[in-house]
Homo-oligomer: A and B are copies of this chain.
């Protein structure tokens, strides 16, 4: 079973917004064994949309379209659907009642014609209920291809995919098995890993594919097995993952594809009933923000001091003015005092501190652009590392966040 995912909108084609909908939909389809053949982003142009629809008919089983369903004049998907399916728009009573409830009941505003038009759908479509907004999803079939139209707003699209589209596909279609297993590694580059596992990779069975997914500081290795016999696939994946684990055990930190390092850390800290705080300079609060993006973080995360101005390192964190004068504000010594300072102030087991120059300009300190010190205070020790992450600014910040979380994870695992 094959799908193509289309996003409609000029704002995507001029790079003004980044399409995250297609990835979400592809991931959801992948989990139920539907393979995504292509993503396409096209303009808000009727002819372009119609040509694309025709080119996909009978080529794929599913075409999932996001965007172009809003209430404003630049949204034309619904009218284009009518033209493609030789259909007319009619007012759907359930959708109308729902739109009325949102506008009058929740927003306490009078219903306008523009709101009312949201309830118009092609007469032959099956409506996919959109609890999160006013624009309904639509499911229509032409010969062997189903066309599904969804709103472009991510929260609305996600709701309809999870509650309407996926259950309907699972109910109505038979699908093959696709099994993925992702291995998270830290600290070595793609080439080096490739050399280490070359023999193992050459011996993978035909039906298993390996992909390297590098990002700053880490590489994910993804194994994908496809076939009709679930058990064979599972056994083969398990066998190959365990032989791989023997070769690169020193750099493997986790296995689940959805499991980010902050999720793994959260579980480790909760299990051990340990707490953490951060004292951040160059990362500007990003470590705290990443840790608290995990729901339930209040169990182990107590807080952070973002000491962007130098004097706040002294007044709030208790760094000694002498240490700053003698070693500069970007130094191992200041990082150490920041970590210990926040550990004591917030009474935590662990504390992370960062001080560095993210660039692009030289700051207060003499340190080169890209230089960062990360200090990790543990219940009985303090570890400090120096890095140069180069440029641009965004990369320095991201790599510092990754490195800091990696150092913390290593230390917690060591104390298990």
Using a CB–CB cutoff of 8 Å, the interface residues on chain A facing chain B are 9-20, 22-28, 30, 35-44, 70-74, 112, 114-115, 153, 155, 180, 182, 190-191, 194-195, 201, 209-215, 220, 222, 224, 257, 278, 280, 283-289, 291-293, 295-298, 301-309, 312, 315-316, 345-346, 358-361, 363-364, 392-395, 397
B303–A16 touching, CB < 8 Å? no
Among residues of B, the one whose C-beta sits closest to the C-beta of A73 is B201
* 15 additional A-B residue pairs with CB within 8 Å, beyond A71-B194, A292-B308: A13-B38, A13-B39, A18-B18, A38-B40, A70-B212, A71-B190, A73-B210, A74-B212, A284-B292, A285-B288, A285-B292, A298-B308, A303-B305, A304-B305, A306-B306
Q: What separation, in Å, do the CA atoms of A330 and B286 have in the docked complex? A: 23
21 pairs from A and B in contact (CB 8 Å cutoff): A10-B209, A12-B26, A13-B37, A13-B39, A15-B23, A16-B23, A16-B222, A17-B215, A38-B41, A39-B40, A39-B41, A73-B210, A289-B289, A295-B358, A295-B361, A302-B308, A303-B309, A305-B305, A305-B316, A306-B306, A309-B346
Q: What separation, in Å, do the CA atoms of A295 and B395 have in the docked complex? A: 13
Please give me the 9 A-B residue pairs with the lowest Cβ-Cβ distance, nearest first: A284-B292, A15-B27, A285-B285, A285-B288, A39-B41, A15-B26, A304-B306, A15-B23, A302-B309
Q: CB-CB < 8 A to A316: which residues of B?
A: 303, 305, 316, 345-346
A12–B16 touching, CB < 8 Å? no
A11–B191 touching, CB < 8 Å? no
Query: How many Å from the CB of A312 to the closest CB on chain B?
Result: 5
- Name A's interface SS: mixed
- Contact A20 to B18, CB < 8 A, known contacts A190-B71, A292-B284: yes
Q: CB-CB < 8 A to A307: which residues of B?
A: 303
A285–B296 touching, CB < 8 Å? no
Q: What separation, in Å, do the CA atoms of A23 and B20 have in the docked complex? A: 11
Q: What separation, in Å, do the CA atoms of A393 and B24 have in the docked complex? A: 17
Q: CB-CB < 8 A to A14: which residues of B?
A: 26-27, 30, 36, 180, 224
Most chain B beta-carbon contacts within 10 A, residue among A13, A17, A155, A280: A13
Q: CB-CB < 8 A to A114: which residues of B?
A: 191, 194-195
Q: What separation, in Å, do the CA atoms of A23 and B358 have in the docked complex? A: 24
Q: What separation, in Å, do the CA atoms of A72 and B283 have in the docked complex? A: 32
Q: What separation, in Å, do the CA atoms of A24 and B251 have in the docked complex? A: 32
